[in-house]
Amino acid sequence: MVPWYQLRCRPRLHRFAVAGITLALGLGGCERSDAQKTQYGIGSLDSMTISVYAKGLESPWGLAFLPDGRALVTERPGRLRLVAPTGALSQPIAGVPAVVSQGQGGLLDVAIDPAFVSNQLVYLSYAEAGPGGAGTAVARGKLTSAGLENVQVIWRQVPKVSGGNHFGSRLVFARDGTLFITTGERFDYRDSAQTLTNTLGKVIRINADGTIPPDNPFVNKKGALPEIWSYGHRNMQGATLHPETGQLWTIEHGAQGGDELNHPEAGRNYGWPVITWGRDYSGDKIGEGTTKAGMEQPDYYWVPSIAPSGLVYYTGDAFPRWRGSFFTGALKWKGLSRIVLGPDGAREERFQDGIKRRIRDVRQGPDGALYLAMAAAGIEGEFVVARVRLLAMVFLLIAPSWNIIHYPGEPVHVTGFAVTVAAAITAFGIWMMLRRGGWRPWIGFASSALDVSLVSTALVTFLFVGSPMIALNSKVTFEMYFLAIVATSLRYDARICIVVGLLALCEYAALWAYAGANYNLDDPAYVSAAGPYSGVDLFTRLVLLGIAVLLSVTIVRRAQRLLYLAARDRLTGLYNRGHLDRALTAALDASARDGQPLSLAILDIDHFKRINDIYGHALGDRALIEVANLLSRAMRRTDMVARYGGEEFVVLMPGTPRNAALLRVEALRQEVLASPIDVGENRKLTINFSAGVAGSPADLTAITAKAMLSCADVRLLAAKRAGRGRCIGSDNPIEDQVSLAS
């Protein structure tokens, strides 16, 4: 369940009515460049009230406030609803176009016409099916008491392609009444973002009726589509209009790092995928680098990614000190980011306490409050299971309904119908509970256990109303165990798979044991009802249930394994650079929050190229693996070691002051020296490394991952220039020697 939340100022003495919230930006020493990288502080919401505005929504994506105080909200599966000022939801509004609700597709953004008071026009962006696959489309219709009327599609993305990712999309009206549409490059078609013959990875500008403004930048360019405003974008899921300048601002997802805040200008190329500040999900480089002539730099970018979604420029009175700030949601680290752009660079403040959920959209309400679309972790999988359960029960009602019509006097058919109806009502009740915001972390266990127990209840009922063989030899009802067990894998929680599977095994085995103890299962009277008794067949059923459990667990483990591999270096098995970036950012946050030291060391194997040239790449790989294994064995539970690239490793040491970290790294170096590699013919290859150590906050003017890595890298370079085979942890080599000697 994904409710909309209000974020308001909670009066706490009168000073909060003026000051709003104490800022924790403290970002002296930020680097200046055309593109501003992540520099952030941790903010507090202690002086705020977070209250539920509306609940009972499934995957809300966009919000538009109406002049009468109500709001329109989109649900990605394809529903549009009205929300009263009290938070009460309407029934789904009729007339919404059919959407492709798969992956990131579905019903996306909603906007109202600037002249809504007189024309009542509502605009929707959504994923639309068509020849070749799907693509983003925009439709508009008149909002009446009967729903949306006279709905017409005013723009379609071309071409439509396969896949369920990167549709964009946000809608923003400009001051002149034209409509901006943000799109994605549909993930597998990234190169299309650089081509003007399609609308993938573009900002689109059209008139409100779908016609093309004559002053668009590519109207007179041969071969270019005239609706294109800017190009070279990846996947823009946030957009807003600056109220003072009238400029369009957008938020764009990067790959592994490289999320961007831009103000797209007419005819400009924003680089994707030729230039980017991120890397591919494999860790490989994307494109040609981070800069190129003729391509624009972002106003602000994130490394590592925060997966931004939704964007608003705050102008309200509820938070006076926040005026002039951008706000975006963070799908990845489950919080809210505030960005301030100024002449001295960009500053970011992150809010997570009291939120800790994925934020899909951020809007400013007419009352000056911020409205957030927030998702409960785990709810998406539970919704899938709830829909599968409800759909299954609808189809399962067919057979007992037919039986009770044709055999109205048979108790077993009456009972079967009653049990199936009860199960259908239960399935509907669970689905409605989720839609009304009733999700809890234990719902997965409870609802799956209920699924299995309903099957067992039906079999027990057959035992007493019919005969033991009807219960034990039932085919359709018994097969529902498999559906219940396999459905647990949709939650990607192996614990639920195991618990529910064992419950099914135990309940069916108990039914068999009870029937065997209380009935003569070989009695011919029972055979005629549902076939003969066969202990082998019943045991086989238990075996098949066990196999279903193993299959479900395997599916979940496989999915988890894929996530694990995405974070690992293939050669050494250590964490890769992408995971390191995320872990370092989290460690810096924790260090700042808890007031604990944090140290980091970059290790570089000395003369590694010479090793490859003399002994070959196979032995070079072996040297990397040996060093990686040694480092892994030496790590404490709180430490982390990652392969940074090539022959470089990074050791992250939370709670460790810099001098202590320097001693630890020197001890590791000595251990590596004492562990030569056998290269054959009674020869040993001695491995050594150089290292640079940095500590937070002592060594940093800006508490960022980039600053810490840069500091350690500068000291690593100093160690190499000083003759290699040494560790440097400060800008004073004499101080380091004293520290190591002591």
The CB density around residue 294, as the number of other CB atoms within 10 Å, is 8
DSSP string, 465-532: HT-HHHHHH-SHHHHHHHHHHHHGGGGT-HHHHHHHHHHHHHHHHHHHHHHHHHS-TT-HHHHHHH--
What is the DSSP secondary structure assignment for residue 235, as one 8-state letter? B
Q: Which amino acid is at 289?
A: G
C-alpha pair distances (Å), 395 with each of 126, 406, 495, 579: 30, 18, 29, 45
Q: In what order do the strands lie in the sheet with 4-9?
A: 48-54, 4-9, 370-375, 358-364
C-beta of residue 451 within 8 angstroms of C-beta of residue 502 = no
Cα gap 42→256, rounded to integer Å: 22
Secondary structure E strands in 187-291: 202-206, 228-231, 236-241, 248-252, 259-262
What residues are labeled active site? 166
Residue 267, by phi and psi: left (phi above 0), alpha (psi -120 to 50) or beta?
A: left
Cα gap 77→103, rounded to integer Å: 10
Q: In what order do the strands lie in the sheet with 326-330?
A: 40-42, 345-351, 335-342, 326-330, 308-313
Closest CA to 374 of 356, 392, 388: 356
C-beta of residue 65 within 8 angstroms of C-beta of residue 378 = no
Q: Which amino acid is at 592?
A: A
Cα gap 76→490, rounded to integer Å: 19
Three-class SS state of 735:
helix
Cα gap 553→497, rounded to integer Å: 6
Cα gap 60→63, rounded to integer Å: 8
Cα gap 89→71, rounded to integer Å: 10
Closest CA to 298 of 251, 257, 339: 251
Buried b (16+ CB within 10 A) or exposed e, 174-203: beeebbbbbbbbbbebbebbbbbebbbbbb
C-beta of residue 537 within 8 angstroms of C-beta of residue 508 = no
Give the largest CA-CA distance in the chain.
Answer: 98
SS3 sequence, 339-352? EEEECCEEEEEEEC
What is the DSSP secondary structure assignment for residue 544, as one 8-state letter? H
Cα gap 581→584, rounded to integer Å: 5
Tell me if the bond preceding 114 is cis, omega within 30° of 0: no
Three-class SS state of 592:
helix
Tokens of 638: 């709180």
DSSP string, 415-482: HHHHHHHHHHHHHHHHHHHHHTT---TTHHHHHHHHHHHHHHHHHHHHHHHT-HHHHHH-SHHHHHHH
The CB density around residue 394, as the number of other CB atoms within 10 Å, is 12
Give the CA radius of gyration of the chain: 31
Cα gap 653→76, rounded to integer Å: 42
